[in-house]
Amino acid sequence: MPSAGILATRTRPRDGTSTSHPFRHQGEPMNSSNPTVVLVHGAFVDGSGWQPIHDILTDAGLDVAVTQHPTRSLAEDVTEVHQVIEAQDGLVLLVGHSYGGVVITEAGTHPQVAGLVYVAAFAPDAGESVASMLAEPDPNTPAPPIVPRKDSSLVVDRDHFHDAFAADLPAGQARFMADSQIPWGGAALSTAVTEPAWQSKPSWYVIATDDRMIPPAAQEGMAARAGASVETVAASHSVYVSQPEAVADLIKRAAKAIDL
């Protein structure tokens, strides 16, 4: 995954201005002015992994939608996310995990999107794709065990999935995730972002400190470049499954922070 060095050379502020909005009082109840939260999954998994966070957010009174995009091409995934956005009544808060961060970066310029939450996710700049961000791997960081299939789509090696993708989940749960993977398509990796939504929308970022798919230092670099408000969580790449309360807490704060 991208090295901290690559991202550090590309990090730049957005004209020196902060995109964060002041948080409302922590105890303030959710109300109808809150945006709908749209949860966007990453590569190798589907939207069902969001269930713990979905349940926490809906119990807190937020409306939530979960996308089921195929991860074959960025254009197709953005189209599907736009369909979900446009089915909502009012503004939305996009939340993306891993490759889902690329999707929300491109889809987030939609006028209904009020903000972005990245969860151990790629946050590319204009002209960057996953492939370009992977082009110069950090030699001091073990490469994630991603392997090609006969059709050139990608999966995580089943024997190494637990350690690399979900080290803080029970072995049985990680094995099911490994056995039920959705292949990641080449056009999803190679298509560059055109206009990063984080340049014009407020953003938040959950950094997973024990991530072995996207190095934490790379996550820090992307979050800094986007000017995101950061929450650091001791968790694997599957932080949204293993630490749903921490991730949901940041999402709730982001929803409260958006000035509707």
pLDDT tens, position by position, 195-242: 999 999 999 999 999 999 999 999 999 999 999 999 999 999 999 999
The answer, yes or no, to whether residue 9 has pLDDT greater than 80, is: no
| 130 or 135, greater pLDDT | 130
Residue 96 pLDDT = 98
What superfamily would CATH give domain 4-143+181-257? Answer: Alpha/Beta hydrolase fold, catalytic domain (3.40.50.1820)
The answer, yes or no, to whether residue 185 has pLDDT greater than 60, is: yes
The mean pLDDT of 89-102, rounded to a whole number, is: 97
The token pair at 68 is 């089921």
Name every residue whose Cβ is closer than 8 Å to that of residue 169 and which is 6 or more positions away in sequence.
162, 177, 236, 238, 241, 242
Three-state SS string over the chain comes to CCCHHHHHHHCCCCCCCCCCCCCCCCCCCCCCCCCEEEEECCCECCHHHHHHHHHHHHHCCCCEEECCCCCCEHHHHHHHHHHHHHCCCCCEEEEEECCHHHHHHHHCCCCCEEEEEEECCCCCCCCCCHHHHCCCCCCCCCCCCEEECCCCCEEECHHHHHHHHCCCCCHHHHHHHHHCCECECHHHHHCCCCCCHHHCCCEEEEEECCCCCCCHHHHHHHHHHHCCEEEEECCCCCHHHHCHHHHHHHHHHHHHHCCC
Task: State what percent of residues in the chain have pLDDT above 90.
Answer: 81
Kindly report the average pLDDT of the chain as a whole number: 89
Of 39, 191, 189, the closest CA to residue 116 belongs to: 39
The answer, yes or no, to whether residue 8 has pLDDT greater than 60, is: no
The answer, yes or no, to whether residue 194 has pLDDT greater than 70, is: yes
pTM of the model: 0.88
